[in-house]
Structure 1
């Protein structure tokens, strides 16, 4: 093909073409190239590329120099550099003119000695494809964000459902607990009354027997005394006299424990009718630690962090004290002697955060999922009723607070409470 024919073809091509020599002088630019430029030029032939595109020349020089040096084509993809040349594009979808997204090919042109004498730049308009890709990317990002929001919403709904089920369970158990407490309290009351009467009777009978034995020793015949002593020995009367008061005492202690359990059931079922007050949570924490000092001093070191100003919440004082007692005592029982108990109260913008953390034995996930169930306990028989944390749950719900429990076996447990700050 003759040079004139080749130039005629290049001029007619709808793709922008520009040819430069090694000095970066433009030797040819077809109509698609010249006409597409947003900076209007009468004639580009004979002008330096550096002068025509001063803002783009730094990037162009790197590409051009590599082609002349390596004799290999180079390529600029629109995602790496969307707009190499200042050209406008007519988008076929909307018809609106916009800045052209371009793919640019840098092609070496060889002379008869197989040396690169010129370089041809071919600019392809990929605005439609790029716009479609960008729209798809934006849509994907929007869908991803929506998916994350749905996941978050699903998690919140699941948590709300669990809280609702727990609340319903607490309400049912509370009604049952109130009934059970009432039914147990009556028989325990008269059993304890009878035991106290028996304790008094036993003391009197033992006293009578002691005096009777002294009288017999002085007045009776030796043969009668021997027969009576033999009878006492065979029946173990001396052991009965020493053991009977202890048996009655232990029975009374047992009834006292039953009464304590009944009281816990009542507290679990219904709280005090005391009024709601603006309560300084930091002051209640100090008070609780003072009351529990004897429990704490041989069991743990306390690391306390409280705000200098009042940490006011709208609350029932007795309920908050009970919450603190239950969680702190649980922490003490979970730790080896002289463990670390950390209590931190901090003021947030609209809330007050309370963290109670121990370095005790911790809990696995199965145990953690059941700690608020009434009567569930990991303590030895007789050491816990399993109502303490169920009570804590009810108190948190009553005060419209939130609670989060984190635990890991061998590491410890952290209770995090968040109460609404009282503004007056």
Structure 2
């Protein structure tokens, strides 16, 4: 999956927003521009129309003069006013043409203006009889009249009459003649100026057509822009939901689940950005919290078991100290008396084959064996009850293990069982050598007792996390899960021969605790062997030695048998 950082996604979203704004802005600007152009065109056309109105009024006031001088002067003044109105109209026409605010080129109106200027100039020159004659007031009139008369001829009323049916009317024949005097020129002026409203009406119509076309184009552009922006807006909404809203909702849901205690909840987010990294960090944090919570819960349970075990051990020790001492003397008397009776019975029954004599002798031996067995149990009880001060010193653990292994190998009942111990280096711990030797002996005997012939016990010694560690791994009968919970309890035993007292591992546990060490035991299950780990300090402990020392945690249990 391609990873897109949030800044890239924000830039993409910003680009989409800018694109939508540009599209909408383009349509709006085009519509506003069209409206502005139409408004300017109509405004300029209205100005031109106002100027043409004044021009028409002035020309319509012209009339053929009579023979009086006053009438001629009045006509000359009116002609000059008309000439001034023509100049104002030409100025508006020129301005509109130069600005481009026209629907057409304005050539027809320009030709009418030149024709009007030519006739007005001719009338003024004829009435004023100035020498030299006055020139037309519009620039270009002389050029169009002299150089392009064909362009002005089509504006002549005679031309228009010839092209119409009126040419057959006798009353209009006089108008077919060219204008030569003042009266004919005035008639032509009136005819020409009356064509000006028609041209302006056509211009207005062209402006309206142009405005309608621009309106339709603007409407198409606006609708097209809206239709183009709509999918972009939908896409932007979908991207915002996918890139922002959905990851934030998942993170919020995960935080709430964890706040309610669901430390195993995982946020499954694949956004390919920092949100995914945040979800991964959150999952790692919850995993560590879950592990810490489980470890704390296990420690609480273990501490509770240790408290119960300590109270039980204290009670057992107090009971053992009194009972063992009181029982030792009767047991010694029973054993001594049974030995004496057996000796006397052998002297009396020497050479006798009576079955009763053999049965009595057998029972006396059984009495002695059980008496000595009870005496052994009481000795262990006394050992368990004693809390002698330990004398710590730097001790080589591989040497202790090797001494125990060499001693066990000469015992006949353990022949056929292999002990593998190959130390690689000297492992020195700050312990009481005799006490730890007893621990090693108990664990080795337990392991050998749990194995059948051909079994293998592997022992390893090493340093681990600032402590000396001795590992006992066998392939014996293994340990059930329920046995692991109680294996260090006093008098708890699961030995296969049924002869265990259940005190060997309790004594081992007490010795390791007195050294401020740890003893753990694990097993995959019954028939799959088990592993003991004994961890001992390599430096003098800061906690005072002796029976009142702190009892460290026991992170496991032991085998289903005791030494």
Report which stretch shifted further, 294-303 or 157-166. Answer: 294-303
Query: What SS does the corresponding residue of 1:194 show, helix, strand or coil?
Result: helix
Deviations 1:34-68 (A, max 9, x none): xxxxxxxxxxxxxxxxxxxxxxxxx9xxxxxxxxx
Task: Say if 2:376 is the partner of 1:263.
Answer: no
8 Å CA contact 2:473, 2:529 repeated in 1: yes
Aligned twin of 1:400: 516
Aligned twin of 2:418: 301
Aligned 1:60-209 pairs, distance under 5 A: 80-84=4-8, 136=252, 141=282, 145-146=288-289, 148-206=291-349
Q: 1:411 aligns with which of 516, 525, 528?
A: 528
Task: Say if 2:492 is the partner of 1:376.
Answer: yes
Structure 2 unaligned blocks of 5 or more: 24-219, 259-281, 542-563
Query: What SS does the corresponding residue of 2:6 show, helix, strand or coil?
Result: coil
Q: Aligned partners of 1:328, 1:338: CA distance in 2, in Å?
A: 15
8 Å CA contact 2:519, 2:533 repeated in 1: yes
Structure 1 unaligned blocks of 5 or more: 1-58, 60-78, 88-99, 211-235
Question: What is the TM-score when the length of structure 2 is the normalising length?
Answer: 0.47
Structure of higher CA gyration radius: 2
Shift of 1:283: 1.0
Q: Aligned partners of 1:178, 1:381: CA distance in 2, in Å?
A: 28
8 Å CA contact 1:402, 1:419 repeated in 2: yes
**Higher fraction of strand:** 1
Q: 1:329 aligns with which of 437, 442, 445?
A: 445
Q: Aligned partners of 2:15, 2:483: CA distance in 1, in Å?
A: 62
Aligned twin of 1:232: none
Query: What SS does the corresponding residue of 2:8 show, helix, strand or coil?
Result: coil
Compared with structure 1, are the counterparts of its residues 245 and 128 closer, same or farther at alpha carbon in structure 2 (3 Å cutoff)? closer
Q: Aligned partners of 1:341, 1:181: CA distance in 2, in Å?
A: 35
Compared with structure 1, are the counterparts of its residues 144 and 277 closer, same or farther at alpha carbon in structure 2 (3 Å cutoff)? closer
Shift of 1:81: 3.5
CA RMSD of aligned residues (A): 4.1
Compared with structure 1, are the counterparts of its residues 274 and 420 closer, same or farther at alpha carbon in structure 2 (3 Å cutoff)? closer
**Higher fraction of helix:** 2
Task: Say if 2:392 is the partner of 1:276.
Answer: yes
Q: Aligned partners of 1:413, 1:337: CA distance in 2, in Å?
A: 17
Question: What is the TM-score when the length of structure 1 is the normalising length?
Answer: 0.60
Query: What SS does the corresponding residue of 1:357 show, helix, strand or coil?
Result: strand
Query: What SS does the corresponding residue of 2:476 show, helix, strand or coil?
Result: coil
Q: What number of residue pairs does the alignment pair up?
A: 304
Deviations 1:100-152 (A, max 9, x none): 98695788x9x99x9xxx99977789799799779859966366654553343
Report which stretch shifted further, 295-304 or 167-176. Answer: 295-304
8 Å CA contact 2:414, 2:448 repeated in 1: no
Report which stretch shifted further, 264-273 or 236-245. Answer: 236-245
Shift of 1:416: 1.3
Compared with structure 1, are the counterparts of its residues 103 and 405 closer, same or farther at alpha carbon in structure 2 (3 Å cutoff)? farther
8 Å CA contact 1:363, 1:412 repeated in 2: yes
Compared with structure 1, are the counterparts of its residues 308 and 146 closer, same or farther at alpha carbon in structure 2 (3 Å cutoff)? closer
Aligned twin of 2:354: 238
Shift of 1:314: 2.3
Shift of 1:260: 1.3
